[in-house]
A and B are shown apart, each in its own frame.
Chain A
């Protein structure tokens, strides 16, 4: 298969989500090629999280479809390739950070807490707390734990919802570097964020307003935000 024939990392066609009368996402067509880096911009309630959750398979579309590397979102194959990081870390009460990483790594066919996981944890400043229970952590440390879990497993599409919220300045810098690294290794990266430093690095922005895609291109954060207001 030539690169031109390869399906995009993410493809949505007519992807729609409604809750009764409420339209959370209007029919959306979006394509993200392998290795692309996209910032998803929009105010609260614009449909960013809904879109990302549907791509991850957590929500089911009311209409239309989403595909990950040609596989339906939520299918076994898609789950193996998408790494989804939500804005709210969801962690076990009875596992330490290390045990979390081992558990999740094994679930994705990995070997457990390997050197890469250790490096990610170190970059985020989490290594000294690696054997502690995240249930006792602050919001920021829990967010970092979730980031380690999301990054220290195989993926080719990284889908992240508001990753910079709750992080301290060194954590923010480390995360930017880790996202760059994922991109450099060929993964497509889609991040819902208003962080200007990340938006400056992306290939393009997709702006949502009231569940509708109102802009897709290379605008700056300020320009994109004007479009969604």
Chain B
């Protein structure tokens, strides 16, 4: 037999171009430009507003010397983490998310897979470069408020650093994917890189970590170092190598990713955070262990929901535990930065703890994922849900301890140690409450019925914003002990008193969140009844959270075209 081989890659390029032109032709450019204008306007104001909040004055000479000496190593930790994440993603088939039909039709056709994949990879690179440049420039804008150096130099260097760090991550992922790096090997390399970078920052005994080159680059406005160029070179080499060996991508990984990423995008458009989280775990193969770390007691439980929660926690994979510790450490470092004057870092601390808490409230999430099952229990839904919060709070207290420990380790000082410990406690409680509210709130009703149907557009819009931004804001409120203590400390008053006052505020915030989890179902039921009375029963229930996407199929022919197997 004979075959026609190979089909020139140019054919793929031409076909894709034709599809792109077809897509572009359907874009409403006025609408798209208006959206871009709004995004730039809101983003610009947000950056300017936040950066003016940083304006606590330039750092002192001692801090500046510390930044010059230790800054490259600690910034290098961020680069090492990004490369480690890239390697892990690549070992699971990332970073590309090829369209499902492209996997089936293009990658299974007799065409050069490298040529077929380079186009999507370059598009992803362009996006990463843009995102990195913008994020880096924003970080540069923040840095110039507190560090000496020209504004333009900080903006430019920040943008360059962002581009390099994004490119390093993408390049590492492409190389790992192209070489089919086994997952344990990718994890080991990542751990070594991060460990070396942390060791470099914490001790002078270790040789400079390779990732510290990025730190030298980021601090160019303070002191130019040619070592920074090594980071640029490494990024270029990694991306070039990744593009060169891109054809090594495993099709089964590509197909698995394409399905999950499609679902994640859909869930993200619905602002369904819980579904995004669950799918992301599947993407990262972050699945429960078949055997628990510690096998608990058997037999009847006095508090079943407490035991059910711990059984789930005991099956967490190692990666999730490491993530919680890292997020706690990030929160701790951010708290220390906020204490020394960079106030917006409280947002970073709050968000890091909220993300950790989204993992911690997993037992609660498992129940919320199955509303039908939940409603069959002969107990009040709110009571069941609130009892499942117990293990989550305990886990978050441990993460809060990690945050406080990190913060104290960065600057061992008695006053600060007490403030950090109290803030860690408040932050842990508030973050757990925020995450619990996120999980029980679920996605907005995609059908546009239910509560939203009886609200005016203005109130509905505000409700959507509150639903999205409210839970992380709850977590950020957990840093109030630090802010009050800092304010009193600067006035010469006892910081401990401020921290305790703040703890009461944070505690009340957390109690409000937990209380909402307890009564939410009752409130919704009451609201439904009221709205049904108001609309004569027209408003439909909005209790089903994830009943599946609305079907795309609209063409059910009258002839028996769809003979499904008997159910």
- A residues engaging B (CB < 8 A)? 6, 34, 53, 56-60, 69, 74, 76-77, 79-81, 84, 86, 90-92, 94-95, 103-104, 106-109, 135-141, 149, 154, 156, 165-169, 171
Which residues of A lie under 8 Å from residue B101 when comparing CB positions? 90-92
User: Contact at A94–B251, with CB atoms within 8 Å?
Assistant: no
Supposing A84-B108, A106-B15, A167-B563 touch, asked if A139 and B553 sit within 8 A by C-beta, the answer is yes
Bound CA–CA A81/B106 (angstroms): 14
User: Contact at A76–B559, with CB atoms within 8 Å?
Assistant: no
Interface string of B20-48 (1 = CB under 8 A from A): 00110000000000000000000000000
Supposing A60-B252, A136-B554 touch, asked if A107 and B106 sit within 8 A by C-beta, the answer is yes
Main secondary structure of the interface of B (DSSP, over half): loop
Bound CA–CA A95/B102 (angstroms): 12
User: Contact at A103–B105, with CB atoms within 8 Å?
Assistant: yes
User: Contact at A95–B19, with CB atoms within 8 Å?
Assistant: yes
Which residues of A lie under 8 Å from residue B108 when comparing CB positions? 56-58, 79, 84
User: Contact at B15–A138, with CB atoms within 8 Å?
Assistant: no
User: Contact at B105–A149, with CB atoms within 8 Å?
Assistant: yes
**A-B complex: 7 closest residue pairs judged by Cβ atoms:** A80-B110, A107-B109, A140-B561, A109-B4, A80-B3, A90-B104, A92-B101
Interface string of B54-79 (1 = CB under 8 A from A): 00000000000000000000000000
User: Contact at A104–B555, with CB atoms within 8 Å?
Assistant: no
Bound CA–CA A136/B553 (angstroms): 5
Bound CA–CA A74/B250 (angstroms): 10
For B8, the closest partner residue in chain A by CB is: A109
Which residues of B lie under 8 Å from residue A60 when comparing CB positions? 250-252
Which residues of B lie under 8 Å from residue A140 when comparing CB positions? 561-563
For A104, the closest partner residue in chain B by CB is: B105
Which residues of A lie under 8 Å from residue B556 when comparing CB positions? 138
User: Contact at B553–A58, with CB atoms within 8 Å?
Assistant: no
- B564 close to chain A: CB less than 8 A: yes
- B111 close to chain A: CB less than 8 A: yes
User: Contact at A79–B553, with CB atoms within 8 Å?
Assistant: no
For B104, the closest partner residue in chain A by CB is: A90
Which residues of B lie under 8 Å from residue A154 when comparing CB positions? 3-4
Supposing A77-B110, A103-B15 touch, asked if A69 and B563 sit within 8 A by C-beta, the answer is no
User: Contact at B559–A107, with CB atoms within 8 Å?
Assistant: no
- B547 close to chain A: CB less than 8 A: no
Which residues of B lie under 8 Å from residue A34 when comparing CB positions? 1
Interface string of B232-265 (1 = CB under 8 A from A): 0000000000000000001110010000000000
- B458 close to chain A: CB less than 8 A: no
> Which parts of B88-109 form the interface with A (CB within 8 Å)?
99-101, 103-106, 108-109
- B191 close to chain A: CB less than 8 A: no
Which residues of B lie under 8 Å from residue A59 when comparing CB positions? 251-252
User: Contact at A108–B7, with CB atoms within 8 Å?
Assistant: yes
- B12 close to chain A: CB less than 8 A: yes
Which residues of B lie under 8 Å from residue A81 when comparing CB positions? 1, 3
A-B contact pairs, 21 of them (CB 8 A): A6-B1, A34-B1, A58-B252, A76-B5, A79-B108, A80-B6, A81-B1, A90-B101, A90-B104, A91-B101, A92-B99, A94-B19, A95-B19, A106-B15, A107-B106, A108-B4, A109-B4, A154-B3, A154-B4, A166-B564, A171-B561
User: Contact at A104–B3, with CB atoms within 8 Å?
Assistant: no
> Which parts of B274-323 form the interface with A (CB within 8 Å)?
none
Distance of B567 from chain A, by nearest CB (Å): 14
For A95, the closest partner residue in chain B by CB is: B19
Bound CA–CA A149/B5 (angstroms): 19
Bound CA–CA A137/B562 (angstroms): 11
Bound CA–CA A90/B106 (angstroms): 12
